[in-house]
Amino acid sequence: MNSPRDDAGETGKNYTLLCFPAGPGSRGELKVLYGKIVVLCLFLVFAFPLDSAYASGQEDIIFTFEDSTEGWVVPDWAYELKDYVAEEVVLTRETVSSGSGALEVICDFPGTRWTAALVELEKDMDLTDYDLISAQVYIPRGAPRGFMKARFILTVGVGWHFVEMRRPVDLIPGRWTTISVEIEKEDTMISPWRGHGEGSLRNNLDAVKKIAVRIEYDAAPPHVTGGRYRGSVFVDNVIISRSAD
């Protein structure tokens, strides 16, 4: 009698035949087997959950603030420094770039010195496979023209190094402005980020601790000063993305 291997004309392979019992109790035994398989699958799902932002390592990391501030806050340390003037961050539905919500940052810029409003998210992130960070920022029509700028700040590494986007983007009153910066992966002559050595972004891509958006009032007395601005600035659609290829 030929074996299944001989009938197939294949040699040099070993086969294991999985057979289910065919007797009177086979249905009950199959139910037990299927039950064990279901329990195993549930264990794997709950023991190794996937964060939606990192599922399959394919998706962009996106904060659209549709229903909440998504963990973005004015950090405690900023309240202790006189140059940081953000008072509160809330969800708004009145001034949005797209969708139904955005961050509203309530500030008090004196206009007589450099000051900034900063909102941040503390979250461990691995940005090794990401290429670009972008966001949209809005200042109302009544804000001083020619003074306000925005940039990203990252906190990275075991030393929690503060890494700034090198060149801020000018904000125009009454218009949503997109700020964006490449995620540096190689040593370049002029990096888009400040920081070097063990405190550089490229050496800590797998250990990003915080991401922040900082809105700056770039007054430089005594020659460059503007009026006081007590009001709101808005942030929407913070996206950490991969290149199309």
CATH number at residue 191: 2.60.120.260
Same domain, residue pair 153 and 33: no
Name the domain count of the chain. 2
Write down the pLDDT at residue 190. 79
Same domain, residue pair 219 and 147: yes
Domain that includes residue 40, residue range: 1-49
Write down the pLDDT at residue 12. 44
Write down the pLDDT at residue 241. 95
Placement of tokens 């990391």 in the chain: 61
Write down the pLDDT at residue 188. 65
Same domain, residue pair 201 and 96: yes
Write down the pLDDT at residue 225. 78
Same domain, residue pair 61 and 43: no
Could you tell me which residues come within 8 angstroms of residue 170 by beta carbon, excluding any fewer than 6 positions away?
A: 146, 148, 149, 177
How many whole angstroms separate alpha carbon 204 and alpha carbon 160? 10
Write down the pLDDT at residue 45. 40
Torsion angle of alpha carbons 212, 213, 214, 215, nearest 10°?
A: -160
Write down the pLDDT at residue 155. 96
Write down the pLDDT at residue 64. 97
Find how far residue 143's CA is from the centre of its chain: 28
Write down the pLDDT at residue 13. 43
Cβ burial of 115 (10 Å; 0-12, 13-18, 19+) is: buried
Q: Which residues of the chain have pLDDT under 70?
A: 1-58, 186-189, 222-223, 244-245
Same domain, residue pair 162 and 78: yes
Same domain, residue pair 34 and 154: no
Choose one of 33, 49, 65: the last residue of a domain.
Answer: 49
Same domain, residue pair 155 and 170: yes
Same domain, residue pair 190 and 219: yes
Same domain, residue pair 95 and 11: no
Strand partners, 33: none
Write down the pLDDT at residue 208. 96
Same domain, residue pair 38 and 66: no
* 112 three-state secondary structure: coil
Same domain, residue pair 41 and 78: no
Same domain, residue pair 229 and 153: yes
Q: The pTM is what?
A: 0.74
Write down the pLDDT at residue 32. 53
